[in-house]
Structure 1
C-alpha cells in the first residue's frame, strides 16, 4: 500500500464519482479504478459499492476513509514541519555568551530574530569565553560570542560587530578631566581586570599595556565586565573595558576613550561548519542589521 492509494481512495470517497475524482487528481479514470481495486484486494474487503449510476461507501470504506484522512493529514504536517526546519523557521538556537556581550547589539538582534522567526526558541547560555569552543564541539550551543576567538580549524569565525576599548575611572579621578587617555598615562594606576586565565581579551589588554611601556599592576581579577565597573566605582582601580560597558551612565564612574593606537574589543561569532539553517538565519540577520551601522546603535526591526 502506498500513499497514492490513500489519496486516490479519499478523492473517490469524497466525490462519490470516479470521473470527478480523476479530474481532481489529474489522472485518467481507468488507472484510478485499477488503483482502487488493488487497494481493496490488499485489504481483502470492498470499500465502495459501484453501480452504473452511482458510487457509495461500504461500512469498511467509511471506517477506512477516517483513517486515510488522518494518515494523509499527518503526512502533510510532517512535510510542512520538515520544510520549516529545513528553512530555519522553527527549531532552537542556543547562544553562548558572557553577560557583558549583552550590553552591545546582541539583545536587539535576539529581539528582532524572535519577531521574524517566532517559532524558533532562543536559549542563552552564559559561560566564560574559554568554555565556548568546547560547548560548540559538544553541540551544547550553536553560536558563541566572544572577543578573542581561538584558532580552531573545525570552527568558523565572523565578526559580529566592532567595538572600541575605553577606560573606566572612579568619578573624580585626576584623568577624568581629559577627553581621551593614552595607555601610557595609566602606568602608575592600580588595575582591575578580567581574569587572565579565562579571557584571551584580558591577555591582549595586558600585552597592550606592556607595548605601551609598563606592566599593569593588577589588584583584582573578575569574570564579568559589569563586576569590573563595580570595582572601579568602589575606587579599587581603573579598568580597560569595552565601550558598551559605558553605555549606561553612572555618576560614580567616568568613561573615557583611549588615544590610538589602542586595542579593540571587537565581538566575533563562532560556530560549527556547516551551520544549521536556524544558525544561518541568525547570522544573515546579524549581517543585515549591523551592515554599515558600526555595530554600536540599536537594532531596528
Structure 2
C-alpha cells in the first residue's frame, strides 16, 4: 500500500469529489481515479460511493480514513522531526487550541516559538477540546491547548498518553448582551430566571459547562433556561445578538473586549478553569515541541501549587472562593 494513495483518498473525501480533489492535488482526474481503484482492489472492498452531492466514504472507507489518518500524521511528524534534527529547515508545528486561548495566550506563545525557529511553518487549528486530544493522539497535531474544570482528574485519565503542562488559571467573567446595565462585580444571582448559554458537555474533557453548572448548584442560582450550543465560539455571537447571557473564560482579563458584549467580573468569584498544554509522550524530545513546552512552563502561574505527575495545580478551597 502506497502512502500517496492514502493521501489521495483523504483528499477525495475532504473535497467531496474526484474533480475537486484532482484540482487540489494539481493533477488530472484519470490518474487519481486509477489510484483510488488500485487502493480498492488492494483492500478488496469499495471505499467510495457516489451520491447526489458527489462522493462519500463507505463504512470501509470511513474505517480506512480514521486508521490511515493516524499513519499519515505519524509519517508527517517523523519527517518534520528528522528535518529539524538534521538542520534542514524547521519543518511544521501544528497546534490545536480552544478559542479562549487563541484569543490571547496562543499568539504570544507562538511568537516566542517562531523567534527561535524562523523557518518553522506554524499551523493553528481550533477544534473542540475532545477533537484536539484526538489530533495529538493520532499525530495530526503536535500540541494541544485546552481548558479543563478538574485538572487532576484530567491528568489521572490522560496522563499515560500525554505529556501535560499546566498553563495557569483562566478566570470566568459574565458576558452580557451589549448595553446591559449591570453592576461590576455582578452578583451571580443576576442569572436567576434568565436564559443562560452553555456549550455542549463532553465526557472526554469536562470544562466550562461542568464548572458553571457546579457553581450554580453550589450557590443556588436557578436560570429560567439553560440553552446548549456547540462550542464557546458559537456562544459569543448569540450574546452579542442579545439572545442570552453566559459565563465565559477570559484568559487575560481583556480578550473578550474585542466583542460587542458587556463584560463583568462576578461576585462571588467562580472557580477558574485551568489551561493545559499537552503533547504525546516523548514528543518533548523534538526540539521545537520541547521549546514550546519550556515556554509554557516559564509563563504559567505556579503560585500556591503542588506537583502532580509533572503538572502543578493551585489548591484553592471553596471557602476561599466564597470570601472573595
Give the TM-score taking structure 2 as reference length.
Answer: 0.57
Gaps of 5+ in 2: 1-80, 304-324
Aligned to 1:117: 117
Q: Is the 8 A contact 2:83 2:91 kept in 1?
A: no
Structure 1 segments, 4+ long, off by >6 Å, are 86-89
Aligned to 2:171: 164
What's the CA shift for 1:171?
2.9
In structure 2, which of residues 287, 292, 297 is the aligned counterpart of residue 282 of structure 1? 292
Q: Is the 8 A contact 1:93 1:122 kept in 2?
A: yes
Q: Whose relative contact order is higher, 1 or 2, with alpha carbons under 8 Å and at least 6 apart?
A: 1
**Does residue 239 in structure 1 map to residue 246 in structure 2?**
yes
Aligned to 2:196: 191
* SS of the residue 1:135 aligns to: helix
For the residues of structure 1 that align with 2:176 and 2:161, how far apart are their CA atoms?
40
After superposition, give the CA deviation of every residue in 1:228-276 in whole Å (9 maximum; x if it has no partner): 2221121111100012485253684210012234121331102211123
What's the CA shift for 1:102?
0.8
For the residues of structure 2 that align with 1:251 and 1:118, how far apart are their CA atoms?
32
In structure 1, which of residues 167, 170, 173 is the aligned counterpart of residue 180 of structure 2? 173
Task: Please provide the CA RMSD for this pair.
Answer: 3.0
**Does residue 265 in structure 1 map to residue 292 in structure 2?**
no
* SS of the residue 1:200 aligns to: coil
After superposition, give the CA deviation of every residue in 1:16-48 in whole Å (9 maximum; x if it has no partner): xxxxxxxxxxxxxxxxxxxxxxxxxxxxxxxxx
What's the CA shift for 1:292?
8.3
After superposition, give the CA deviation of every residue in 1:64-108 in whole Å (9 maximum; x if it has no partner): xxxxxxxxxxxxxxxxx9695179982322211123321121112
Aligned to 1:43: none
**Counterparts in 2 of 1:130-169, with a 5 A limit?**
130-148=130-148, 150=154, 151-152=157-158, 153-169=160-176
Gaps of 5+ in 1: 1-80, 294-301
Q: Is the 8 A contact 2:168 2:302 kept in 1?
A: no
Aligned to 1:102: 102
Q: Is the 8 A contact 1:88 1:278 kept in 2?
A: no
For the residues of structure 1 that align with 2:287 and 2:112, how far apart are their CA atoms?
17
Q: Is the 8 A contact 1:87 1:278 kept in 2?
A: no
Give the TM-score taking structure 1 as reference length.
Answer: 0.61
Q: Size of the alignment, in residue pairs?
A: 211
Q: For the structure 1 residues 109 and 252, does the alpha-carbon distance in structure 2 shift closer, same or farther, using more than 3 Å as the test?
A: closer
For the residues of structure 2 that align with 1:109 and 1:253, how far apart are their CA atoms?
26
For the residues of structure 2 that align with 1:128 and 1:286, how far apart are their CA atoms?
21
After superposition, give the CA deviation of every residue in 1:261-298 in whole Å (9 maximum; x if it has no partner): 412133110221112332111111233355689xxxxx
Structure of greater Rg: 1
What's the CA shift for 1:172?
3.4
* SS of the residue 2:213 aligns to: helix
Q: For the structure 1 residues 104 and 291, does the alpha-carbon distance in structure 2 shift closer, same or farther, using more than 3 Å as the test?
A: same
